[in-house]
Structure 1
Amino acid sequence: MVVHIQDEQEVANFKYFWQRWGRWIFAILVILSLAYLGYVLYQSHLRSNNEKAAEVFDTFISQARANNLTESKKALVQLQEKYPDTMNATQATLMMAGSAFDDGKYDEAIRHLQWVKARQHDDLLQTIVAQRLASVYLQQSKYNEALQALDVKVTDAFKPVLLETKGDVLQAQKKNAEAVAIYQQALNLLSKDSVQREFIQLKISSLS
């Protein structure tokens, strides 16, 4: 009898709990289910996008190797417009920037580099873009723009690259003492076995 009463009490407690909280629990379960479904669909979308971007990137590479500039540019535009957040779009844009720089098309190179800078915020990519932008501006003797391009926030691991390039800009301006000081800052951040140390040390020696 006591057991029966306890069972009835538990049932009553459960009914009370469900009446009070049941709809909220159900709503939470629905939200969690929808969130999980959304995550699965998003991941599927990303995979699909990456696969399609890879196909366009292959076209870009093949056309570039064939020196078909018109078709390679079409593929690049497709990557930038349809798959702007993929690494394929970033890689193709950086390659096109390099090609434009080699051809002396500095303004075009700058446009490509700024496109990457606006979309990729990884420290490594920000460092690469900043260094290359500064190199383009340096080639144009636009020293202020070059220094501004190098003014990006990155972790200490990437700062030596930016500092070395800043030293190059200052050296081009005949500001040798300032260049040496900046080169020294770069050395201070590098490990003892870094290959970059030797190159920077040579630059310092040439200005001493």
Structure 2
Amino acid sequence: MALDLQEQEQIDELKAWWQMYGRWVTIAILMAAIVSLGWNGWRWWRQHQAQEAARIEAELVVALERGELPLARAAAHRLRESRTNALLADLSGLKLGYELWQAGDHAAAKEELGRVAEQGSEPYLRDVARLREAAVLLDSGSAQEAFERLAIAPVPELAARYEEVRGDALAALGRLEEARVAYQRALDQGTDPAWRELVALKRDGLGG
């Protein structure tokens, strides 16, 4: 009987405790369930978005391989608008801009590269885009605009290449002494032997 009384006391204590705290326990359980559902839902959404970005990027690559540049540009636009992977969108923009340049569509190449240069997610990618944009401008005869596009100091890794293209723009503008100085600055900063040989040829080709 003593055991029964002890058990009854425990039950009564549990009932009393539940009356006091049961509502909060229920709320805590519900909140935990909501958080769990939200977390799992967020993870599913992120995974779905990543898969969608990868699918669009694959479409872009295939379109470029086939030379279907309008389709590639449409895919690049969808990739940017999805806002799921800024880095992938920037890299695709760089590749698309280069391919458009090689295809002779300077206006479209400048547009794609300019977008990455102005809105890119990483400083290095923005500077690469600006460098390629300057090359496109040079190729289309806009040396002054190319020179102006390179007025912003790039990340250190690209400093030598920036000086080289500045030299190219200055040479095209007939500012030969300034071009020579730019080429020399490029040589002072660059280390790749084959690249240095090319830059030295450009510098020495300017004459006395």
For normalisation by structure 2, the TM-score amounts to 0.70
Q: Using the alignment, how far apart are the partners of 1:117 and 1:74 within structure 2? A: 19
Relative distance call for 1:47 and 1:168 in structure 2 (3 A) is farther
Aligned to 2:61: 61
Aligned to 2:154: 154
Check whether the contact 1:146–1:169 (CA below 8 A) recurs between aligned residues: yes
Relative distance call for 1:44 and 1:176 in structure 2 (3 A) is farther
Aligned to 2:6: none
Question: What pairs with 1:1-208 in structure 2 (closer than 5 Å)?
Answer: 47-83=47-83, 85-191=85-191, 194-208=193-207
What letter is aligned with 1:145? E
Q: Using the alignment, how far apart are the partners of 1:194 and 1:50 within structure 2? A: 40
Q: Give the superposed CA RMSD.
A: 2.9
Check whether the contact 1:127–1:162 (CA below 8 A) recurs between aligned residues: no
What letter is aligned with 1:107? A
Check whether the contact 1:123–1:158 (CA below 8 A) recurs between aligned residues: no
Q: Using the alignment, how far apart are the partners of 1:42 and 1:133 within structure 2? A: 38
Q: Using the alignment, how far apart are the partners of 1:118 and 1:102 within structure 2? A: 22
Check whether the contact 1:163–1:182 (CA below 8 A) recurs between aligned residues: yes
Check whether the contact 1:76–1:89 (CA below 8 A) recurs between aligned residues: yes
What letter is aligned with 2:55? E
Once the two structures are overlaid, the 10-residue window that deviates more, 89-98 or 108-117, is 89-98
Q: CA deviation at 1:102?
A: 2.2
Structure 1, residues 162-183: CA drift from partner, whole Å, max 9, x if none?
A: 0000000111122221111111
Relative distance call for 1:168 and 1:44 in structure 2 (3 A) is farther
What letter is aligned with 1:120? G
What letter is aligned with 1:96? L
- Percent identical among aligned pairs is 22
Runs of 4+ in 1 over 6 A off after TM superposition: 38-44
Q: 3-state DSSP class of the match of 1:104? A: coil
Q: Using the alignment, how far apart are the partners of 1:182 and 1:40 within structure 2? A: 55
Q: CA deviation at 1:149?
A: 1.0
Once the two structures are overlaid, the 10-residue window that deviates more, 89-98 or 164-173, is 89-98
Larger Cα-atom Rg: 2
Structure 1, residues 26-72: CA drift from partner, whole Å, max 9, x if none?
A: xxxxxxxx9xxx99987876554333211111112123323334433
Q: Using the alignment, how far apart are the partners of 2:183 and 2:77 within structure 1? A: 39
Q: Using the alignment, how far apart are the partners of 2:118 and 2:43 within structure 1? A: 23
Q: Using the alignment, how far apart are the partners of 2:42 and 2:148 within structure 1? A: 37
For normalisation by structure 1, the TM-score amounts to 0.70
Structure 1, residues 171-203: CA drift from partner, whole Å, max 9, x if none?
A: 112222111111111112234x55422221111
Unaligned runs of 5+ in 2: 1-34
How many residues matched? 173
Q: Using the alignment, how far apart are the partners of 1:196 and 1:83 within structure 2? A: 37
